[in-house]
Amino acid sequence: MNPSARNHRWRLGLWIPALVVAVIFAFGAAVRVDFNDPSVHFSEAVASVRWERALPDRRGSEFQLVFAAAVIGVVFHSIHHSWRVRLGVMAGAFLVPVLTIGPVILYAPVVAPRMIYDMVAGNVDGEFYCEGMAMIAAVGLWMSVCLVFVAREIWLWRKEAKSGAGP
């Protein structure tokens, strides 16, 4: 397989998860359910969505900054050919949530799959949505994607160093 086709697959491997993360993030910002509801089925959450409230969210600019960093990360990673730039962009995109939300967000990549599973299965309450946990799950998924791409760039760097191509 030629390197161009391989890079195209990796670009799709970044854009598709980034789109999924963006949808979950916007969904989390747009859901409007009762805080005291003891159980919110996914269909109820979808029915309560108000998309006009998705982007200008009042929950804090830190989530908007993380979303902006993700968009910038995807674009810059897609257009640059240098593994150094791509590594820096993805490492930066991983660190933005840590710097804006705090170190506690480092747990998000671990718990995000379970949070999303519980959300889709209807095993969450109104507090889950009102506290922005769906957006935190999206941030956790994004951080996982960043880790995968950082590992890929490090692997490419080591491969380049072994082949003697030089830094």
Tens-place pLDDT, residues 85-123: 888 999 999 999 999 889 999 999 999 999 999 999 989
**CA 110, CA 153: separation in Å to the nearest integer?**
22
Predicted confidence (pLDDT) per residue in 15-74, tens digit:
899 899 989 988 988 898 888 888 888 999 999 988 877 765 555 566 778 888 888 888
**Residue 124: which residues within 8 A CB-CB, separation 6 or more?**
39, 40, 118, 133
- Per-residue model confidence (pLDDT) at position 5: 52
**CA 2, CA 39: separation in Å to the nearest integer?**
51
Neighbour-count burial for 9-36, b at 16+ CB within 10 Å, e otherwise: ebeeebeebbeebbebbbbbbbbebeee
